[in-house]
């Protein structure tokens, strides 16, 4: 077993998520029932490792459905914007609500498959992990993307209005300086999420190489989803 918790009473190895020793029933740590969403978000910003450890410990991965829904909406917005680089028209042929109904299940399915494959690979490398932990870590590490939906997107809409999703003219033609500044913020959000995903997997495995490879795979899937949806949905 890799990255185990060692029981202080009998020195037996236990999976990271355990709170009771499987051998002597000694309490390894306090039991964590639920995730406090606001405390967790604050900790993800200030001390990611502590936040991800609590997410792993939590018995109930509450709020994960709502975060998945909001993350899918973020994917939809990024896909709509990316579609402008592949199409001549600035008007989507697919209504927004239908686009979201396509995006949500596609996004959820791909992230479930990604998390399941990650759990299989880690188990082959002798890590005792749970699918729900990996999926929760993948979603919670994208808190910056979810926050961008409620903070950065409204600012972009205020600055560019309908031109935000138009290429005639595009935001870079309307207000070039602001467009590049906001694009830099968008890039920073993606980089922040990548770093958080790396730290999340590092907390789970305590292995730099595995964490980097897993995070790169996660980023590749994230970008691939956006490109595929921009080409097929809009």
Q: What local confidence, expressed as pLDDT, does residue 92 receive? A: 53
User: Between 166 and 6, where is the model more confident?
Assistant: 6
Q: What local confidence, expressed as pLDDT, does residue 198 receive? A: 96
DSSP of 174-234: HSHHHHHHHHHHHHHHHHHHHHHHHHHHHHHH--HHHHHHHHHHHHHHHHHHHHHHHHHT-
Q: Which two tokens stand for residue 95?
A: 């209504």
91/95 Cα distance (integer angstroms): 10
Tell me the torsion sign for CA atoms 133, 115, 219, 226. negative
The answer to whether 219 and 194 have CB atoms below 8 angstroms apart is: yes
Q: Using alpha carbons, select from 193, 212, 191 the residue that is nearest to residue 201.
A: 212
Tell me the average pLDDT of the chain.
Answer: 88
Across the chain, the runs of DSSP E, i.e. the strands, are 5-6, 13-14
User: Is residue 19 exposed (0-12), middle (13-18) or buried (19+ Cβ within 10 Å)?
Assistant: middle
pLDDT per residue as tens digits for the range 75-102: 888 888 887 777 655 555 556 677 777 7
Q: Is 62 helix (H, G, I), strand (E, B) or coil?
A: coil
Q: What local confidence, expressed as pLDDT, does residue 14 receive? A: 95
Q: What local confidence, expressed as pLDDT, does residue 165 receive? A: 78
- What average pLDDT does range 35-63 have in this prediction? 93
Q: What local confidence, expressed as pLDDT, does residue 199 receive? A: 96
- What average pLDDT does range 7-20 have in this prediction? 94
Q: What is the dihedral of CA 136, 123, 203, 32, to 10 degrees?
A: 50
Q: What local confidence, expressed as pLDDT, does residue 84 receive? A: 75
- What average pLDDT does range 133-141 have in this prediction? 95
Q: Is the pLDDT of residue 135 over 60?
A: yes
pLDDT per residue as tens digits for the range 184-213: 999 999 999 999 999 999 999 999 999 999
Judged by average pLDDT, the poorest of 139-143, 170-174, 201-205, 209-213 is 170-174
């Amino acid at each position: 077993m890799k990255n185990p918790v060692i029981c202080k009473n009998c020195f037996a190895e236990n999976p990271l998520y355990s709170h009771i020793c499987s051998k002597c029933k000694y309490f390894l740590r306090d039991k964590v029932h639920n995730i406090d969403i606001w405390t967790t978000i604050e900790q993800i910003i200030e001390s990611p490792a502590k936040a991800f450890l609590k997410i792993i410990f939590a018995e109930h991965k509450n709020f994960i459905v709502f975060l998945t829904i909001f993350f899918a909406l973020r994917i939809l917005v990024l896909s709509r914007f990316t579609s402008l680089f592949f199409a001549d028209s600035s008007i989507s042929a697919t209504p927004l609500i239908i686009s979201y109904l396509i995006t949500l299940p596609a996004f959820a399915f791909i992230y479930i498959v990604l998390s399941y494959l990650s759990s299989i690979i880690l188990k082959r490398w002798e890590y005792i992990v749970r699918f729900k932990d990996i999926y929760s870590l993948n979603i919670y590490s994208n808190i910056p993307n979810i926050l961008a939906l409620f903070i950065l997107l409204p600012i972009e809409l205020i600055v560019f209005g309908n031109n935000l999703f138009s290429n005639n003219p595009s935001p870079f033609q309307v207000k070039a300086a602001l467009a590049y500044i906001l694009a830099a913020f968008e890039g920073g959000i993606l980089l922040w999420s990548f770093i958080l995903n790396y730290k999340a997997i590092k907390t789970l495995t305590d292995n730099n190489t595995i964490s980097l490879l897993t995070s790169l795979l996660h980023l590749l899937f994230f970008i691939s989803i956006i490109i595929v949806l921009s080409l097929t949905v809009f």
